[in-house]
Structure 1
Amino acid sequence: MGRTTADAEGDVVVFLIGMRINRFWAVHHWLPVFCAMPMMLRELGRDRGLGLLHHVLLTASPRTYYVVQYWESKEKLLAYAAAPSRRHQPWWARMNRYARRSRGHVGLWHETYVVPAGSYETIYADMPPHGLARAHGVRPLGDGVQARDRLAV
């Protein structure tokens, strides 16, 4: 395994999306929101041409869940989000209805980052491909190469 870095070139697109269960006992309000993401991830996993390179499901607390997604491009992310034939658009409309009716029982959030080339840096020591490296592949890290060198364009 050794020391490696992500083999990403150009801009990197990172999308974070999550939910927070504000009222545990209101299962009928948060469960549909909780179940929507795995369905979309399965759809994206079946068709790699849609642009999702890799994702990681995470739990921040017993009530907060999120997904880190690495995308091929912002254009593919936006195209998937707007495609009426894909799961996102109808589920987003449905989740907005659930959120409005939930009276604060569930919270939703997302953040999109387009990170320009030369503005990200990775290092993995004795790790299998993870995060950005899992999305873009890995390459050996040269001896004596410092973070400031990897950040320089």
Structure 2
Amino acid sequence: MSQPAAYRAAAEHAPAGVRPGMNAVRLDPGQDEVVVFLIGMRVNRWRRLRSWLPVLAAMPRMLRQLQKDPDLGLLRADLYANGRNFVAIQYWATSAQLYAFARAPELTHAPAWGRFNRRAAGTADVGVWHETYVVPAEAVEARYGNMPPFGLGRAFGVAEGRVSAR
């Protein structure tokens, strides 16, 4: 596919690791939905380390478990920190897999959630939140101009051009 005029010279100038030009997310033909799960915490009282540090430490453990077993459904996760806020942006194969992971007592999330509720929820030293977005695959649009693999494109792959997900 030809690149938009503004991007045609990008291939000559792109630094290492950058996919030059205009690209779009590439979903598998059988992909019915795209699941974006945002989960995070906010440290409300820095001095209450015993309240918030276990919450912060739980996320890498969960992600390691998910990365070791692709059948659980996590496609990609990226971690971000901004001041008091810590966020994981996750991309899942299906919403059913996300919900199954969240509830399975033998996996890392349900026990960590129970510990949080017993030890820290009532202190308000740390806040927790999540947002789940389940989007029909045909409604997804994700474009990248002169970017390394990022977001949905990193989870699913990218194709050259200005195409939408389908």
TM-score of Structure 1 vs Structure 2, range by shorter chain:
0.7 to 0.9
Aligned position for 1:64 = 85
Q: Which of 11, 16, 25 is 1:6 aligned to? A: 25
Map 1:25-104 → 2, pairs under 5 A? 25-59=47-81, 61-101=82-122, 103-104=123-124
Mark the runs of 5 or more structure 1 residues left unpaired by the alignment: none
Give the one of 141, 144, 154 matched to 1:134.
154
Superposition TM-score, scaled by structure 2 size: 0.81
Amino acid at match of 1:4: N
The amino acid across from 2:129 in the alignment is W
Give the match for residue 105 of structure 1. 125
Say how many residue pairs are matched.
144
Look up the match of 1:121: 141
> Which amino acid in 2 is paired with 1:107?
G
3-state SS, counterpart of residue 100 of structure 2? helix
SS at match of 1:57: strand
List, as ranges, runs of 4+ consecutive aligned residues in structure 1 with deviation greater than 2 Å: 98-101, 117-120
Under a length normalisation based on structure 1, what TM-score does the superposition of the two structures give? 0.87
Identity of paired residues, percent? 47
Whole-angstrom distance in 2 between the partners of 1:95 and 1:136: 32
CA distance in 1 between partners of 2:110 and 2:85 (Å): 23
| Root-mean-square deviation (Å) | 1.6
Q: Quote how far apart the aligned CAs of 1:118 are.
A: 3.0
What SS does the corresponding residue of 2:77 show, helix, strand or coil? Answer: strand
User: Aligned equivalents of 1:100 and 1:24: distance in 2?
Assistant: 15
The whole-number CA distance in structure 2 between the counterparts of 1:119 and 1:14 is: 13
- Counterpart CA distance in 1 for 2:69 and 2:137 is 26
